[in-house]
Structure formats: C-alpha cells, structure tokens
Amino acid sequence: MNINATVIIQIISFVLLIWFVNKVLWGPMSKLLEDRQKRIADGLSAAEKGKHELELAEKRAKEVLKDAKLQAQNVLSQAEKRSTEIVEDAKVKAAEEAERIKAAAQADIEQEISRAREQLRKEVAALVVSGAEKILHKEVDAKAHNEMLDALVKQI
C-alpha cells in the first residue's frame, strides 16, 4: 500500500471518529456537565438564600425577644404601680376608719362625761338640800325641793 492512501484512510477514519464522538458522546457529556453545573449553582443559591433567611430569622427573633422583654417590663411596672395604689388606698381607708372610730369614741366619751356631770349635779343638789334640811332642821316639801334642785342644776 501506498503511504498516501494510508494517510488519507487515517484522515478519513480520524474525521469519522471526531464526528462520532461529537454526535454520540460529546453532546450527552456536555449536557451532563451543564446539568451538574446548574445543580451546583442552584445549590449555592439555595444555600445563600437559606443563609439570608437565617439572618432574617435571627433578626426577627431578636426583635420578638426585645418586644417580649419590653412588654414584661411594662407589665411589671404596671403591677408595681397598681400595688402601690392598692397600698395607698388601704392606708387612706385605714386612716378614715381610725378617724371614724376615734370620732365615735370621742362622742361616747362626751356622752359619758355629760351623764357623769348630770349625775354629779343631781348628787350635789341632793347633798345641798340635805345639808340645808339639816341646817333648818326641817324638811322642805317635794315641790320646793324639785325647784331648788332645778335651780342648782342650772347654776352648776
């Protein structure tokens, strides 16, 4: 065989091999590589999106925690304020009740003093009449006795 014919047959075989590889093997291989590249890109974008969502979730969690702390602080301050109001109200009511009891006791004392004075006046009047009877050695009649007692009571 001739070298030229061998080279031409080899060139034709090589061209057929390149065409076969390009049509049968290279297309599916390229498609596989593109699919894999796309999956990797999608995975990276999903990871980036997940990272971003995680950051947002952390921010939201911090805000919720901050709001919860603020609300708890408000509830505590309102409870403390209300308890102070209740204590102050109880103090005012206790002071009013003590004042009422004191006034009632003072009124009772004044009534007792008035009764005691009346009783004392009557006893003094009776003693005066008794003393006057002894001095006069005679008994004063009941009408005169009552008149004298009333006069003495008014003077005392």
How do the domains of the chain map onto residue ranges? 5-154
The pLDDT, as a whole number, for residue 127 is 76
Q: Which of 153, 103, 108, 96 is nearest to 128 (CA)?
A: 153
The pLDDT, as a whole number, for residue 132 is 72
Task: HSE, CB side, 13 Å, CA atoms: give it for residue 20.
Answer: 6
* Residue 6: DSSP 8-state: H
| Number of neighbours of residue 57 by Cβ within 10 angstroms | 10
Contacts 24+ apart (CB under 8 A), 6-11: none
The pLDDT, as a whole number, for residue 26 is 83
The string of pLDDT tens digits covering residues 25-41 is: 888 888 899 999 999 99
Contacts of 148 (CB under 8 A, 6+ apart): 125, 128, 129, 132, 140
Please name the residue that has the structure tokens 């003495």.
Answer: 152
CA dihedral 143, 149, 150, 152 (to 10 degrees): 140
pLDDT at 75 over 60: yes
Provide the whole-model pTM.
0.43
The string of pLDDT tens digits covering residues 106-126 is: 999 999 999 998 888 888 777
